[in-house]
Amino acid sequence: MRILAVTERTINIASDVRSASMSLGGMTASVLAVHTDASKDGRPLVGLAFDSIGRYGHGGLLRERFIPRLTAADPERYADGNGSIDPHRAWRVVMEDEKPAGHGERCGAVGLIDAAIWDLAAKAQGAPLWRMLARDGVAAAQSSIPVYASGGHYRAENDIALLCEEVRAAIGRGHRRFKIKIGGATLAQDQRRIEALLAILEAGMTLAVDGNGSFSRDVALRYLAALAPYPLAWIEEPVHPLDFALHDEVAARTRVPLATGENLFSADDAQNLMRYGGLRNDRDILQFDISLSYGIVEYLRILERLAEHGWRRARCAPHAGHLLAINAVGGLGLGLAEMAMDQSALFGKLTAGIAVHDGEAALPDAPGAGFEAAPVFQEVFGGLLN
Ligand SMILES: [Mg+2]
């Protein structure tokens, strides 16, 4: 199978909300399609990928460096021996002549290409991606996975009323686990938001909070003390994502589960977190964003490193709620998948077609990652396929 072309474009996924660290008012993302000379069921075989959220589009790196490397390669270099493409071999082609570490935004651009190649490989097998990953890995395929609804950003007006409305709507769609932002308002206001939600959650439902890595040591410790009385499922990124010594200190001071990792970008980063972050493998949650950390090929390396440090896959809840992560949770035996609570924004619309019942999502059964079933498929990918 020969890769004929890789097309990409940057799309606007802005929304009128903010977290403790940033506004999403200018947010963009890349979408990408890998076109081949093969066909399946009478249609051209095309691999698709949609970015994660939070790091903007990767068009420059894709166009200047990574796409030309892939399209110039002899197909023998990425062939799998069965007439399809081997994602691991394609990854090595894309990463040729790249230095160790120095990840920058490179890991997001490579992650997009990786995601499209996995979508392509699964389509070539006629299998949903989660089932293909289970076949290749050590986990049993899960066609239904535990999910949590993520959102609770700050609004300029009617913040608590809109927050409650957002969570009630997610409850109505079948969710039982929720996560909202903290740190974008005063501590007292954050407590009011948490209390308002705890008052409307039903028995067995859970609430987690996300500081987006914005707290200094003193603020983090003040928040930990103030939030200790609430039955929170976890506190996410209470401190800067790269300050492993401070994670170690914070973890030693609280029994509440901590979650982090969405702003680390490689297996080496994950290993450093394991070595120096003081995280507890009986309760803490690892959220490496697969799309933003070089894709599934690198994520499989991350899982190997975690196992070496005594971590089970059940402690992994990859960031962002994109289809790649949802497939990986089902196919690699991970613990929990994120889904966007706000389905009015484009990012949430991509997974709006996935049914959730009693906190469990039914994974798509169509070949590949499942983009074609998204209600916004034509809007997002149409321009790349014509
Ligand atoms: Mg987060």
The verdict on 71 and 96 lying in the same domain is: yes
Rounded-to-integer distance, Cα 48 and Cα 385, Å: 10
**Distance of CA 263 from the midpoint of ligand 1 (Å):** 9
What pLDDT is stored for residue 21 in this prediction? 83
pLDDT at 386: 74
Which pLDDT value is given to residue 18? Answer: 84
Q: In what order do the strands lie in the sheet with 43-50?
A: 3-12, 28-40, 43-50
User: Is residue 217 within 8 Å of residue 224, measured between CB atoms?
Assistant: no
Give the residue from 75, 103, 125 where a domain finishes: 125
CATH of the domain at 87: 3.30.390.10
pLDDT 10s digits, 160-206: 999 999 999 999 999 999 999 999 999 999 999 999 999 999 999 99
Whether residues 50 and 142 fall in one domain: no
Half-sphere exposure of 217 (CA within 13 A, CB side): 8
CB 220 within 8 A of CB 251: no
Helix ranges (DSSP H) in the chain:
59-61, 67-72, 87-94, 106-125, 129-136, 159-172, 187-200, 217-227, 244-253, 267-276, 295-308, 323-332, 346-349, 377-385
Distance 213 CA to ligand 1 centre (A): 8
pLDDT reported for residue 141: 85
How far, in Å, from the CA of 223 to the mean position of ligand 1? 16
Q: What is the DSSP string of 16-70?
A: S-B-SS-B-TT-EEEEEEEEEEEEETTEEEEEEEE--SSS---HHHIIIIIHHHH
Of 73, 91, 125, the residue at which a domain comes to its end is 125
Report pLDDT for 140: 82
Which of the residues 35, 153, 247, 319 is marked catalytic?
319
Enumerate residue ranges in the chain where pLDDT < 50. none
Q: Which residues surround ligand 1, an ion (CB under 5 A)?
A: 210, 236
Same-domain pairing of 72 and 159: no
Judge if 294 and 146 occupy the same domain.
yes
319 in catalytic set: yes
Task: Tell me how far the alpha carbon of residue 5 lies from the centroid of ligand 1, in angstroms.
Answer: 34
Q: What is the CATH number of the domain that holds 310?
A: 3.20.20.120
Can you give the residue range of the structural domain that contains 12?
3-125
User: How far does residue 61's CA lie from ligand 1's centre (Å)?
Assistant: 25
pLDDT (0 to 100) of residue 11:
95
Model pLDDT, residue 16: 83
Q: What is the pLDDT of residue 345?
A: 87
259 with 312, same domain: the answer is yes
| Ligand 1 mean position, distance from CA 180 (Å) | 9
Do 171 and 285 belong to one domain? yes
d(CA 116, CA 97): 21
The yes-or-no answer on residue 103 being catalytic is no
**What's the 96 CA to ligand 1 centre distance in angstroms?**
31
Select from 135, 330, 32, 87 the least CA-distant residue to 339. 330
Q: For the chain, what is the domain count?
A: 2
Predicted local distance difference test score (pLDDT) of residue 47: 98
pLDDT at residue number 83: 94
Asked if 41 and 176 sit in the same domain, the reply is no
Do residue 151 and residue 42 come from a single domain?
no
Give the Cα separation of 3 and 47 in Å (integer). 10
Write the CB contacts of 157 (distance below 8 Å, at least 6 apart in sequence): none
Tell me which of 153, 175, 181, 322 is the catalytic residue.
181
Q: Residues 54, 191: one domain?
A: no
Distance CA 312, CA 310 (A): 7
Same domain flag for 294 and 355: yes
The alpha carbon of 45 and the centre of ligand 1 are apart by a number of angstroms equal to 34
Same domain (yes/no): 63, 206: no
3-class DSSP state for residue 92? Answer: helix
Which of 104, 125, 146 is the C-terminal boundary of a domain?
125
Q: Report phi then psi at 310, rounded to 5.
A: 80, 20
Residues 6 or more apart from 348 whose CB is under 8 A from it? 321, 339, 340, 341, 342
Q: Please give, one letter per residue, the 3-state secondary structure of 132-170.
A: HHHHHCCCCCCCEEEEEEECCCECCCCHHHHHHHHHHHH
277 Cα–ligand 1 center, Å: 17
Residues 94 and 155 in one domain: no
Quick one: tokens of 333? 């035996």
Q: At what angle do helices 217-227 and 187-200 cross, to 10 degrees?
A: 30
